[in-house]
Structure 1
């Protein structure tokens, strides 16, 4: 196994890995011990052909991506620190696409990432505008707009698409694809999340499965909620403008349970929030603008008394 791992990592470093080999690499990483991984990484580190290290702050960001996307069973992650300076610049690009069809994995020409706890805005070559929420990725080919207009999203994005009746605009997510000419809509397709939500604000869009079978056609103020595992879905009527408030640095919560609130705030603030107990039936409704995380917790404490502890990016919540 060690020989196979070294071979696959070397191919990954030099951009010569195939989708099948990438799946094999992922399987080996997930089933290897820390000792095996650290030994392999050190051998690669000592190899004179190894690329030069990347900056430490970039290493740490990529380590976090690996921890989210490759589920190592062991609790000792020292080997990740070694891997960061060897192979991770490529894995940062590949990581978000572990959730797409393995046969369609490819190294994208352009990739944009919103840092954890941050948001970012970009304008695509066709003039379409995209806002990315915390921890989200968007990729598109360098020839975007010449023949097709296709992007891939892992996370949450708000789109204002420029009209072009000759070229459909497509958004690919883990479970479904979205086809549109010109419109405004929000997509929440977080990795690991069991559900993808697509909310139409203006125009019209269709939602398809990976075999291009149409699942639904949406009109404004409709949200398409789909289980990414079995593709069971429902369409609900709501004020979809609220789903995109985050792009204006506002987070609106309406009639939400405690579990839903803290999950949403985890994305908003870029934190890992653990709810130890949930002994309240209270339904929350509020809007967060410029408030800090501690100010948000004080708001929650006024509504329903709770205790909390903060250790870096790890937060524990307990209701009194």
Structure 2
């Protein structure tokens, strides 16, 4: 793969527009430790892209120069290089080329300026853990908190928490077992919400493509805040906070513990979900692309439970309940039928 194609693929992946085949290329790319370091740097810049402000071209060039200088410092410090698929070595200046595309063509700038400009060491202290489609993982943070990551999830956290708080950000789904520390609250940023805890166990689901964010409390107590740190609600065990992104409306409700946390044990539970929502879960779980050709069957509501089952078994079971047929070719699943 040519150098420019690699840059474009990384950007495409961060935008969530890659095919299953391209996801596999990303997986292979990240197997190299040096490439992973490069990717982590790019993700941190990418995560500065949530809001827009007007930046003139001259200021863009100034900030890009600062970024390039910072990358030079990393290179001089760690002496790292990137090995391409053709085994050619390139210096870490390649990051600057990708970052230039992100800064000038793709990324809005407000959070980048607010969080990173004027504080050149903050990126060095942050780590981003990413799971691709079809992957699940777990990590222990510096305070002993254990985090289980579902597929297609990004967790950004400091190498060492500060003395007065523990703050991370999440895109995707994770199950937290937070170490109790009454002097340092644990803060999780997910979209427009902040979850504040001292020590507790809960599940957070906040995929970018989903219309809602849900926070499901297993043990302890959590407080939900908005971006302005205004209190929205407090959860007790067995309560779930559901936030609708489009309307900024939210509600508190009971939830099925086994269903919400089943993914952590490699179990899939569908209890009356629509086929189009089930398809999103299967895409993330198995690393495939699912195309539903007939809109009539998207609304079919299905019930099923699967434990460590291959995709073909899952689809064969669902097709009888949903009265549809499917075919798989090159990680693409096509579903068609008359409707349920």
Assess same fold via TM > 0.5: yes
Correspondence for 1:98: 49
Shift of 1:218: 0.9
- Aligned residue for 1:98, secondary structure, equals coil
Between the aligned partners of 1:237 and 1:100, the Cα distance in structure 2 is 33
Correspondence for 2:163: 146
What per-residue deviation string (whole Å, max 9, x for no partner) do you get for residues 226-245 of structure 1? 12244211122122342111
Task: Pick one of 252, 255, 272 that aligns with 1:235.
Answer: 252
Between the aligned partners of 1:203 and 1:219, the Cα distance in structure 2 is 7
Cα 1:63–1:292 change in 2 (3 A) is farther
Shift of 1:270: 2.3
Between the aligned partners of 2:249 and 2:174, the Cα distance in structure 1 is 22
* RMSD between superposed Cα atoms in Å: 3.1
- Aligned residue for 2:138, secondary structure, equals strand
Correspondence for 2:270: 253
Number of aligned residues: 255
- Aligned residue for 2:282, secondary structure, equals helix
- Aligned residue for 2:309, secondary structure, equals coil
Which aligned pairs between 1:235-314 and structure 2 lie closer than 5 A?
235-280=252-297, 282-314=300-332
Between the aligned partners of 2:215 and 2:207, the Cα distance in structure 1 is 12
Structure 1 unmatched ranges of 5 or more: 1-40, 46-55
What per-residue deviation string (whole Å, max 9, x for no partner) do you get for residues 57-83 of structure 1? xx5xx75552254489xxxx9xxx9xx
Between the aligned partners of 1:268 and 1:303, the Cα distance in structure 2 is 20
- Aligned residue for 1:182, secondary structure, equals coil
Shift of 1:177: 0.5
Between the aligned partners of 1:141 and 1:174, the Cα distance in structure 2 is 18
Shift of 1:113: 1.0
- Aligned residue for 2:49, secondary structure, equals helix
Residue 66 (1) aligns with residue 11 (2): yes
Correspondence for 2:227: 210
- Aligned residue for 1:279, secondary structure, equals helix
Cα 1:160–1:63 change in 2 (3 A) is farther
Cα 1:64–1:200 change in 2 (3 A) is farther
CA contact (8 A) 2:142 2:159 kept: no
What per-residue deviation string (whole Å, max 9, x for no partner) do you get for residues 100-159 of structure 1? 794255446211111221100011111111001111011111221533211110111110
Cα 1:109–1:165 change in 2 (3 A) is same
CA contact (8 A) 1:167 1:181 kept: yes
Residue 119 (1) aligns with residue 136 (2): yes
Shift of 1:97: 4.8
Between the aligned partners of 1:229 and 1:172, the Cα distance in structure 2 is 18
What per-residue deviation string (whole Å, max 9, x for no partner) do you get for residues 241-282 of structure 1? 421111111111112121221122222222222222243464
